[in-house]
Chain A
Amino acid sequence: MSASGLSIAAPREKVASTGVFWLGGFLAAGAWLAAALVTTLLPDEIEVGRTLELGLLAGAIAGVLLLLAIGSSSLGEAGLKLRRTAPWATVLALGLIAWEWLTAKSGTLPLPFFASPQGLLEVYLEDWPRLGESVLRSLWLLLSGYAIGAFAGFVAGVALGWSKAIGYWVHPVLRLIGPLPATAWLPIAFFAFPSSGSASTFLVALATWFPVTVLTWSGVASVNRNYYDIARTLGASQSFLVLKVAIPAALPQVFVGLFMGLGASFSVLVVAEMLGVKAGLGWYLQWAQGWAAYGNMYAALVVMALMCSGLTTLLFRGRDRLLAWQKGTVRW
């Protein structure tokens, strides 16, 4: 019979790109140049310093965009991808101008509650050692707790889905303790554990554990029974049925659990660092607020957003690699 049934994945849609030059790139470069000019040439209503650096930065971005606009056609595939970013690059520059105008130039949004762009830049240029250390501390706490919770949740979920005896004992515990927000354990955890760091690791692990357990369990429980029958008739052992049938079949659900667990672990991380741990981004936020250093707070928030988004991206990348056989999944 013919082989015409094989569907070939549709090639990624090519962005309509006419002309050698990237017109959107010129527009974006112009917008960034305007931002640079507004920043450097207009006088500051509120003096914060670092205005010149901000202007130079915006000017540098404008220069890079200009070079890309001229040369993007020689960059091949990457150049085509780049062209899609033009509207965002332009809007970001316009946003920067508006923000700059409302804060530093006109003072409509006053200090200390609102920070100007150069104020943020100043934080990054001057307080980066402390901010960097906070990021590392947060990452370490988050990743160690998340790894423990995800592993424990995965094992518990597989066991629940596979063994009736384990289900009998674990299910009631899961039902009672699981839905309780991990942060409710905070007061107990801080005196039950030898250090606030280990207490926080436990809480992050607990917050991750619950969704990973439930979704792994539901994934294993909903595996097509015929998959097992097929494997059994072909001579599969129990361990083969678990490792090579149940777990791969459940993986799409497991990743939903890992995603939800990651979200839960972020919120526990921040709360734990605000309340007990003397390091990390949550602590930095708290500390900045205590000193009314709102610029530092905004700067830390931006870093935190980048960190959380980056970790989520990593998780999705991992999923895309492992579950390449799936079709029609959400792109992060």
Chain B
Amino acid sequence: MVSTNSATSTPVPGMAVGIHGVSHRFLLEDQPLPVLDNVSLEVAPGEFVALLGPSGCGKSTLLRLLAGLDQPTEGRVLGDGEDIQAPDPSRVLVFQDPTLYPWRTVQANVALGLEARGLLKTHGYRVAEAIRLVGLAGFETAYPHQLSGGMAQRVALARALVNDPRLLLLDEPLGKLDSLTRLSMQGELVSLWQRSGLTALLVTHDVEEALILAQRVIVFSPRPARIAAEIVVDRPYPRHRDDPHLVELRRQALSVLGLEN
């Protein structure tokens, strides 16, 4: 793997992701519960791919495997051609809940990754950069309970970006936001991804969100998750919801999910 130059401020290319024949099971009351069934997927560096599927189908499990938080029962997950065996700051996860540490200010929350790796002294300036990038300059000393849902999620995003990741794993990051905040943050996610050139994987159960954001939408079946379809969204950004091509793709995706009309 490329040495982790994640602490430098020069733009790094996105990470190539390989998922080869991955199956995963949980033990639920000693019964194996299959959640992923022979999933294979290649993601090119710098690509934005959405994983779409019904709630609880196992999409989030796939992200945890890619983050290195869990190991697959079968198959291999690869980052830049190497097996992913442990968490690494080059692959960061953003949850549906911002999961900010309530005892830390915005600034201290964003600084978490640098502090954990002992880089705060040398790279502390990146904290302010990341806060500015998500539009929260001026809120450095606020505590999480003083923030709105959208602002908290921006802090979570800044906390991920400050590590200069090469793979951004987004687990329904906009799922709990109100619809207006959601729309504006979708646009921001796209411009952030375009500027940074990193690889992004977005788990969502919102068909429209997947089509607005991603270059490719992978549609999953209900649990255990299999890849049911792959939809290439070949439209320039910024995209519009009423684009007839997107409307057609949306119909396709819904029919794969069995929700047509």
Contact = CB atoms under 8 A, between A and B. Distances in A.
A163 interface: no
A240 interface: yes
B67 A245 contact: no
A244 B115 contact: yes
A321 interface: no
Contacts of B189: none
B92 A234 contact: yes
Given A6-B139, A6-B142, A234-B92, A1 B67 contact: no
B91 interface: yes
B50 interface: no
A252 to B, nearest CB: 9
A133 interface: no
A225 B139 CA distance: 27
A231 B99 CA distance: 11
Contacts of A227: 99, 101
B65 to A, nearest CB: 12
Given A1-B184, A235-B88, A245-B101, A327 B115 contact: no
Given A1-B181, A5-B151, A226-B95, A237 B116 contact: yes
A208 B81 CA distance: 55
B101 A226 contact: no
A251 B148 CA distance: 24
Interface in A1-46: 1, 3-8
Contact of A224 (B99, B143, B150, B184): B99
Counting contact residues on chain B (CB < 8 A from A), the size range is 35 or more
Interface residues of A, number: 29
Contact of B89 (A3, A235, A326): A235
B95 A248 contact: no
Q: Is the interface of A mostly helix, strand, loop or mixed?
A: loop
A233 B87 contact: yes
A229 B69 contact: yes
A302 to B, nearest CB: 39
Nearest to A241: B116
Contacts of B69: 229, 232-233
Interface string B118-148: 0000000000000000011011001111111
A251 B144 CA distance: 17
A325 B102 contact: yes
B163 interface: yes
Interface string A137-157: 000000000000000000000
Given A1-B135, A1-B181, A233-B87, A327 B116 contact: no
A230 interface: yes
A229 B103 contact: no
A249 interface: yes
B234 to A, nearest CB: 30
A332 B101 CA distance: 26
A216 to B, nearest CB: 16
A248 B99 contact: no
Given A244-B115, A323-B103, A233 B147 contact: no
Interface of B: 64, 67-69, 87-89, 91-93, 95, 97, 99, 101-104, 112-113, 115-117, 135-136, 138-139, 142-151, 159, 163, 181, 184-185
Interface of A: 1, 3-8, 224, 226-227, 229-237, 240, 244-245, 248-249, 251, 323, 325-327
12 contacts: A4-B148, A5-B147, A6-B139, A8-B146, A226-B99, A230-B93, A231-B112, A232-B87, A233-B68, A235-B87, A248-B101, A325-B103
